Structure 1
Amino acid sequence: MRTMTTFMLTGATVTTAGCVNVTAPDKPIVINLNISVTQEVVYRLDNEAKTLIQQNPGIF
């Protein structure tokens, strides 16, 4: 008798549970990505390399 009551309560709980509906949107999803990418290149030459380049300007 106990198992029958348990099954009936479980069935009643399942049937009265809320229903979840998932639907696709009518319009397409638009994602605006306004990204500004800037890059700075910083270089430093040590004094030996700097003097070498000044002595040989046609090296590069």
Structure 2
Amino acid sequence: MKIISGPLLVAVLGTSLLSGCVPRIEVATPKDPITINMNVKIEHEIHIKVDKDVDNLLKTQSGLF
């Protein structure tokens, strides 16, 4: 029987030890529901540019809209 020594022995032992370390990945859902708080304030400013003739028409004919 031949005795293994030196770097070969270290390589064999290292490989056998590392092969037992298998990482475990676990995916689990949270126990509490996910809550998303969205406090959003939206403000709009609309500027309308009209022709002078249309502007005069809107002033004189206020019942159009």
Partner in structure 2 of residue 31 of structure 1 = 36
More helix by share: 1
Number of residue-to-residue matches in the alignment: 52
Residue range with higher mean Cα deviation, 17-26 or 46-55: 46-55
The residue type equivalent to 1:43 in the other structure is: I
Segments of structure 1 that go 5 or more residues without pairing to the other structure are 1-11
Unaligned runs of 5+ in 2: 1-16
1:1-60 alignment runs, 5 A limit = 16-60=21-65
The one-letter amino acid paired with 1:49 is V
Which of these two proteins has the greater Rg computed from alpha carbons? 2
TM-score (norm 2): 0.53
Letter in 2 for 1:33: M
Deviation at 1:14, TM superposition (A): 6.3
RMSD: 2.7
TM-score (norm 1): 0.56
16 and 37 in structure 1: CA distance in 2 versus 1, 3 angstrom threshold = same
**What SS does the aligned partner of 1:49 have?**
helix
